[in-house]
Structure 1
Amino acid sequence: MYKDFKHGDLVVEMKGISKRFPPNVIALDHVDFTLRAGEVHALLGENGAGKTTLMNILYGLYQADEGEIHVYGKKVNIKSPKDALRLGIEKVHQNYMLIDELTVTENIVLGLKSPREPLLDLEQAARNIAKFARNIGLSIDPKAKIWQLSAGEKQRVEILKALYRGAKILILDEPTQVLTPIEARQLFQAIRKLAREGLSIVFVTHKLPEVFATSDRITVLRKGKVVATLNTKDANEKLLAELIVGRAEDVLVPVRKVGIAKPRTRAMTVLEVKGVCAVNDKGLPALKNVSFSVREGEIFAIAGIAGNGERELAEVLVGLRKALKGRVFFMGKDITNKPVEEIMNLGIAYIPEDRLGVGVVPDLPVYLNIVLTMHSSPPFAYKWLLPININIFLNKEIIKRFTKDAISEYGIKASSPDVPAKYLSGGNLQRLILARELLKKPKLLIAQHPTRGLDIAAARFMHEKLLQLKASGVAVLLISEDLDEVLSISDRIAVIYEGEIMGIVPNVNVNIEEIGLLMMGVKRLKTSPAAS
């Protein structure tokens, strides 16, 4: 496997790569990057540092404004992913690049030659893919449609697609963001095994422990420039944190040490869920008699692996999916199956898992996205002289002034309020969504995977905001697969598996490995009185 080049031979060399986006955003500034045969090269940096842009250039999704690329010793011009594929370069994207209407099998074999040309043998392909997936520990239903899958399952398909096609150079962009610790370790083992066999891997991540678990070398980007390239054995967490953000203490000190008030002793119940049942997009049971409550001034966490009902739960709570049974109460009022707008207007804010597809309108500018749920209310809109009580004219001057203040307060890196949201990095998109939802001053925030794919500084910023909400008396429902996140900021934890709550426990001396096993359905927790 991969016998053309020996271990350590240079397989990719990117020289002086620069890239700009309109109106005047410098994403990359004369970046040099190399990759060797049989190595795992970690690419680190804050959100917006240029990591994904650099790898999109290597994969042919973007073209560099300056610089050159050499692959296997030859200068190449990668104009499209098709050119990259011919060179043996595959990429697992941070934002899913799959066709929703096709099955898992159809997505994976799309563009590959069939052994029975011109006919397709999808049944045999499905069997091959199922076996291949089991062998690398990333099982998936090969006949499922992509639109029916959760975010975590889509990520697994992306990884399988790249590996199944026999890539020689594999780009992994935040591949563990929806995996449990056990699944992540299995992926790390697969990565190390593939590297030993000669595969060259670029591992884009913001999680420092993953760097030490997988990589041989590390390159750190900051504001579009390379600040360091070093061997992993010569690095430590403090050094990397300083290289990434320039200040180790601000990101390595546990977030709980920030001065946040303790939760109230006799708190009002803000959200109450009683015996809720719902089906997924396949029409199969997704929620089975789910019951829990969230009080003011607390962070209540739902921990579960993707595909176990977390997405359906969030959608039921905000009115995007019908509950077939059970009731949902907000501040004592029954909001079961009410329209989305009515639910949001009661004082519920929502951070969805799909930032680009659901959280924003990608082609609209930042200033319109930040008032997306408030655009019809004063002072952002007015009715002028119309004899109707509807505000249909936007006051763009006030909106842009409001947006500039939000950009400053929430640290959104956008050159101007007029930049389309699609040009923002994942971390800046999340800051935009957070700003919009919190500026509504909600009584309840439903945060679905709020730090997925974020760098350490952006994740810390998000955690501090959630803790500040808690201190001010807001109820926070945190839905997350990141157990470190759940254990670091939540007050109570509910574990969900196959649509059932396995138990609710107070976050006191909870073992991360035990919770991980519960998320996989190994056993059921006994709910203590303190948890209710």
Structure 2
Amino acid sequence: AVVGELSAGQRQRVEIVKALYHGAEVLLLDEPTALLAPPEVVKLFETVRAMTSAGKSVVFVSHKLGEVVDISDRITVMRDGKVTGSVKRGEANASRLAELMVGREITLAPRRGTSDSGDVLLSVSQVHLSHDQSQNQPNQPNILSDINLRVRSGEILGIAGVSGNGQRELAEVISGLRQPSQGAVTVCGRPTVGLGARATRQAGLAYVPEDRLGTGLAPSLSMVDNLLLTRDRGFLVDRKSAFKEAEEFITKLEIKTPGPLTPTRKLSGGNAQKVLLARELFSTDSSRVLIVCSPTRGLDVGAVEAVHALLDEARKNGKAILLISEDLDEVMTLADRVLVLYRGSIVLEAKGVADDFEKVGRAMAGLAS
């Protein structure tokens, strides 16, 4: 078999076998489950346990606390480059590890909508997206096939899927960055296909892309200027109010930066993500629909809690939120409903409850019944 045709989990195991073939006695796994579906995580853990049983040493680095508790014999927690605690297997649960990571108690409980959802604010109907025909690959399957979804006011709809199954392209179609081969997209009652990203935003949509620096932010501009990018501007630019708002966001989201005028390229990945979230989630414009892609990627568990709380607050305030994430734990923590995207098609719809976790995980791996 060609490695490029294998699943992410199979490629991960090929890398491990390759390291063992070269005689490695210590294996460092840095976020090894980031691109894996839950069934593939199970297979990976079986491989790791077989290695340790054979006398090999494994260092497992991950922000997914449940996985750390499940696989580790000893756990060391770091914060700001310093060790804050070490525990043996069974001595701490995920909540205790989170507390060691951020220095305070963390709430990891699922968040759900507490009231009935309202009108449909985002509608996607029979959307198809084909490959670029200029690449002379006419027999390639569609990137997206027959996508249908609706998101109502006061609801979070989660899109779960392993990376590379059409999530990014779906977000770009809805936000106006791509035009579908066929189908319709409606934002707050206004058809937006073919109108472009500016008109889609004016219709009432805010967008947090997965590529924070390449698409979401202007790296050479300051936080203040990045906040101004998506706002209506006249002849005079109100930098004073943007500067004050930036200071409030720095405090509210615990953004580590020398100040509001620091270029965003000098921020860590997690802090740059917070700047993007601040602009799109809490902007003062009239956006009623939020498309959020991997909103907590690169953030520590304390910031994750803060972002989840703010998304929950936006839901309570009547926003319609489409949450696209490769982190199934995140989707199941926040979403009222979950759609699974596999090879460009929706293969499963489920409620965002713990009982459906295994079913959703299997669908992500292409094992939907």
> Fold match, TM over 0.5?
yes
Q: CA deviation at 1:176?
A: 2.0
Correspondence 1:187 to 2:62: no
Correspondence 1:338 to 2:195: yes
| 1:73-105 alpha-carbon deviations (Å, 9 max, x no partner) | xxxxxxxxxxxxxxxxxxxxxxxxxxxxxxxxx
Correspondence 1:420 to 2:273: no
Report the residue type matching 2:273 in the other structure: Q
1:138 match: 10
Q: CA deviation at 1:509?
A: 7.0
1:262 match: 115
Q: CA deviation at 1:398?
A: 4.2
Correspondence 1:366 to 2:223: yes
1:435 match: 278
Moved more, 309-318 or 233-242: 233-242
After superposition, the Cα gap between the structure-2 partners of 1:510 and 1:197, relative to the gap in structure 1 and judged at 3 Å, is closer
Given that residues 490 and 507 in structure 1 are in contact (C-alpha distance below 8 angstroms), is that contact kept between their aligned partners in structure 2?
Answer: yes
Q: CA deviation at 1:404?
A: 1.0
1:71 match: none
Summarize the alignment of residues 81-92 of structure 1 with structure 2, pairs less than 5 Å apart: none
Correspondence 1:277 to 2:143: no
Correspondence 1:231 to 2:88: yes
Identity of aligned residues (%): 38
Correspondence 1:220 to 2:65: no
Q: CA deviation at 1:325?
A: 0.8
User: How many matched pairs?
Assistant: 360
Cα distance between partner residues in 2 of 1:461 and 1:487:
17
Summarize the alignment of residues 290-309 of structure 1 with structure 2, pairs less than 5 Å apart: 290-309=147-166
1:521 match: 366
Q: CA deviation at 1:170?
A: 4.8
Q: CA deviation at 1:498?
A: 1.8
SS in 1 for 2:247: helix
1:320 match: 177
Summarize the alignment of residues 403-418 of structure 1 with structure 2, pairs less than 5 Å apart: 403-418=246-261
Cα distance between partner residues in 2 of 1:167 and 1:262:
58
Report the residue type matching 1:227 in the other structure: T
| 1:488-507 alpha-carbon deviations (Å, 9 max, x no partner) | 32222222222222243444
Given that residues 207 and 456 in structure 1 are in contact (C-alpha distance below 8 angstroms), is that contact kept between their aligned partners in structure 2?
Answer: no
Given that residues 178 and 305 in structure 1 are in contact (C-alpha distance below 8 angstroms), is that contact kept between their aligned partners in structure 2?
Answer: yes
Given that residues 178 and 306 in structure 1 are in contact (C-alpha distance below 8 angstroms), is that contact kept between their aligned partners in structure 2?
Answer: yes
Report the residue type matching 1:417 in the other structure: P
**1:480 paired residue among 321, 325, 344:** 325
SS in 2 for 1:256: coil
Q: CA deviation at 1:160?
A: 7.6
Given that residues 299 and 470 in structure 1 are in contact (C-alpha distance below 8 angstroms), is that contact kept between their aligned partners in structure 2?
Answer: yes
**2:107 paired residue among 251, 260, 266:** 251
Cα distance between partner residues in 2 of 1:286 and 1:399:
39
Cα distance between partner residues in 2 of 1:351 and 1:159:
32
After superposition, the Cα gap between the structure-2 partners of 1:214 and 1:467, relative to the gap in structure 1 and judged at 3 Å, is same
When Rg is computed on C-alpha atoms for both structures, the one with the higher figure is 1
Q: CA deviation at 1:197?
A: 5.5
Q: CA deviation at 1:431?
A: 1.8
Summarize the alignment of residues 43-62 of structure 1 with structure 2, pairs less than 5 Å apart: none
Given that residues 177 and 453 in structure 1 are in contact (C-alpha distance below 8 angstroms), is that contact kept between their aligned partners in structure 2?
Answer: no
Structure with more contact order per residue of length (Cα contacts < 8 Å, sep ≥ 6): 2
Report the residue type matching 1:217 in the other structure: R
Report the residue type matching 1:301 in the other structure: G
Given that residues 255 and 464 in structure 1 are in contact (C-alpha distance below 8 angstroms), is that contact kept between their aligned partners in structure 2?
Answer: no
Correspondence 1:402 to 2:245: yes
1:444 match: 289
Q: CA deviation at 1:460?
A: 1.9
Given that residues 159 and 324 in structure 2 are in contact (C-alpha distance below 8 angstroms), is that contact kept between their aligned partners in structure 1?
Answer: yes
Correspondence 1:493 to 2:338: yes
Cα distance between partner residues in 1 of 2:128 and 2:71:
41
Report the residue type matching 1:463 in the other structure: H
Cα distance between partner residues in 1 of 2:73 and 2:125:
50
Q: CA deviation at 1:138?
A: 2.3
Report the residue type matching 2:256 in the other structure: K
2:309 match: 464
SS in 2 for 1:370: helix
Cα distance between partner residues in 2 of 1:167 and 1:460:
41
Q: List alignment gaps of at least 5 residues for structure 2.
A: none
Report the residue type matching 1:263 in the other structure: D
Cα distance between partner residues in 2 of 1:366 and 1:170:
39
Given that residues 174 and 453 in structure 1 are in contact (C-alpha distance below 8 angstroms), is that contact kept between their aligned partners in structure 2?
Answer: no
Summarize the alignment of residues 64-143 of structure 1 with structure 2, pairs less than 5 Å apart: 127=2, 129=3, 137-139=9-11
Aligned CA RMSD, in angstroms, stands at: 3.2
After superposition, the Cα gap between the structure-2 partners of 1:416 and 1:195, relative to the gap in structure 1 and judged at 3 Å, is farther
| 1:51-82 alpha-carbon deviations (Å, 9 max, x no partner) | xxxxxxxxxxxxxxxxxxxxxxxxxxxxxxxx
Cα distance between partner residues in 1 of 2:128 and 2:298:
30
Summarize the alignment of residues 1-80 of structure 1 with structure 2, pairs less than 5 Å apart: none
Cα distance between partner residues in 2 of 1:422 and 1:305:
28
Cα distance between partner residues in 1 of 2:162 and 2:352:
19
Report the residue type matching 2:107 in the other structure: V
| 1:218-249 alpha-carbon deviations (Å, 9 max, x no partner) | 2222233322234345443343233112233x
Given that residues 159 and 175 in structure 1 are in contact (C-alpha distance below 8 angstroms), is that contact kept between their aligned partners in structure 2?
Answer: no
After superposition, the Cα gap between the structure-2 partners of 1:176 and 1:363, relative to the gap in structure 1 and judged at 3 Å, is farther
Given that residues 445 and 474 in structure 1 are in contact (C-alpha distance below 8 angstroms), is that contact kept between their aligned partners in structure 2?
Answer: yes
Cα distance between partner residues in 1 of 2:78 and 2:225:
30
TM-score w.r.t. length of structure 1: 0.60
Q: List alignment gaps of at least 5 residues for structure 1.
A: 1-125, 140-155, 384-390, 525-532
Given that residues 69 and 94 in structure 2 are in contact (C-alpha distance below 8 angstroms), is that contact kept between their aligned partners in structure 1?
Answer: no
Report the residue type matching 2:94 in the other structure: E
Q: CA deviation at 1:199?
A: 5.5
Given that residues 348 and 444 in structure 1 are in contact (C-alpha distance below 8 angstroms), is that contact kept between their aligned partners in structure 2?
Answer: yes
After superposition, the Cα gap between the structure-2 partners of 1:232 and 1:500, relative to the gap in structure 1 and judged at 3 Å, is same
